[in-house]
């Protein structure tokens, strides 16, 4: 089996034998057989007088095995590989957050040439009847092919396969908004097939936390519990208010007694007026001793 690679869109010539240039159609019986059948290929096939098979404007469907027979003898078996831009990426999906999103994908093939880079873009999903906005590039615009590889091992029929999953992050998104994302790979033949997906960003963390606290247990809420709780709170506030008033009176009374030993209040003892018309009252000192007024 010989192996020949050709770029898509090019012309290809397959020789039956190394001496094919010495063959002539009138002297030999050359036949080409392809495994499988491709409708429409016959129009692009041409067998030259020397037995060379020519394929014009090769397409992906032209890949396969070709056999050449000369005088009922198989002379060559050729496997034709058609190289193309990268095929569509597999398992493309979006993992959105509030203001950012992760785009992940798997590489199913390279098209025959190494992948040069990946490209990803995004935009707001237009509403019904609105024109879509321009695609915005995701930085970096040329994502290296070996960036952020995640190895995922899959065990299948006693063999272990490695799948390279790649990803890129998109920042500065708006919470609770639907976006469209697209991504593709590029090799030396050009841009591969574009894959487009959608993702909806989450609500902001503050909104979620507020809603969760406010609505927690609302289904099983009992109004009697609420009334009892309000009653307990109001009663506690009233008790605290009364206690604060009594404490304030005591606080105001103590400094006056300390600063003015002759401070008068209801507890001061009265004495009858004497012969000198002295109407002074007794004074109670801080140590609770009584001082009688002087009699003139």
For residue range 224-268, list pLDDT tens digits in order: 766 777 788 888 888 887 776 665 555 555 555 555 555 455 544
Q: Structural domain tally of the chain?
A: 2
- Do 34 and 97 reside in the same domain of the chain? no
Range of the domain at 102: 90-206
End position of a domain, from candidates 66, 83, 100: 83
- Do 116 and 196 reside in the same domain of the chain? yes
User: Kind and range of the H or E element at 232?
Assistant: helix 223-259
> What separation, in Å, do the N-terminal and C-terminal C-alpha atoms of the chain show?
145
For residue range 109-165, list pLDDT tens digits in order: 999 999 999 999 999 998 888 899 999 999 999 999 876 444 443 434 334 444 456
User: Kind and range of the H or E element at 247?
Assistant: helix 223-259
Residue 50, pLDDT score: 82
Assign residue 161 the CATH number of its domain.
Answer: 2.60.40.10
Nearest 5°: CA angle at 230, between 227 and 236?
140
Global pTM reads 0.60
Q: Name which of 282, 291, 245, 290 is nearest 264 in CA terms.
A: 282
End position of a domain, from candidates 206, 237, 270: 206
Q: Identify whether 102 is part of a domain.
A: yes
- Do 75 and 97 reside in the same domain of the chain? no
């Amino acid at each position: 089996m010989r192996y020949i690679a050709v770029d898509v869109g090019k012309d290809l010539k397959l020789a039956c034998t190394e001496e094919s240039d010495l063959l002539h159609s009138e002297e030999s019986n050359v036949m080409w057989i392809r495994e499988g059948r491709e409708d429409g290929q016959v129009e692009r096939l041409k067998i030259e007088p020397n037995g060379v098979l020519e394929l014009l404007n090769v397409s992906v469907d032209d890949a396969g095995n070709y056999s050449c027979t000369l005088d009922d003898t198989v002379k060559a078996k050729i496997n034709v590989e058609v190289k193309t831009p990268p095929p569509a990426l597999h398992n493309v999906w979006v993992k959105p957050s509030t203001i950012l999103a992760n785009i992940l994908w798997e590489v199913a093939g390279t098209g025959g040439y190494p992948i040069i880079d990946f490209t990803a873009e995004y935009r707001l999903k237009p509403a019904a009847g609105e024109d879509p906005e321009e695609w915005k590039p995701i930085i970096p615009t040329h994502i290296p092919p070996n960036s952020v590889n995640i190895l995922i091992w899959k065990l299948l029929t006693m063999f272990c396969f490695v799948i390279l999953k790649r990803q890129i992050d998109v920042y500065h998104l708006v919470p609770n908004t639907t976006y469209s994302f697209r991504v593709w790979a590029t090799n030396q033949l050009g841009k591969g097939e574009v894959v487009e997906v959608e993702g909806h960003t989450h609500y902001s963390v503050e909104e979620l936390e507020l809603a969760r606290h406010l609505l927690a247990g609302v289904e099983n809420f009992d109004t009697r519990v609420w009334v009892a709780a309000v009653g307990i709170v109001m009663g506690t506030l009233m008790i605290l208010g009364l206690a604060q008033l009594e404490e304030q009176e005591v606080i105001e009374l103590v400094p006056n007694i300390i600063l003015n030993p002759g401070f008068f209040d209801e507890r001061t003892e009265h004495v009858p007026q004497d012969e000198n018309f002295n109407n002074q009252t007794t004074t109670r000192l801080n140590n609770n001793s009584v001082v009688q007024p002087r009699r003139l």
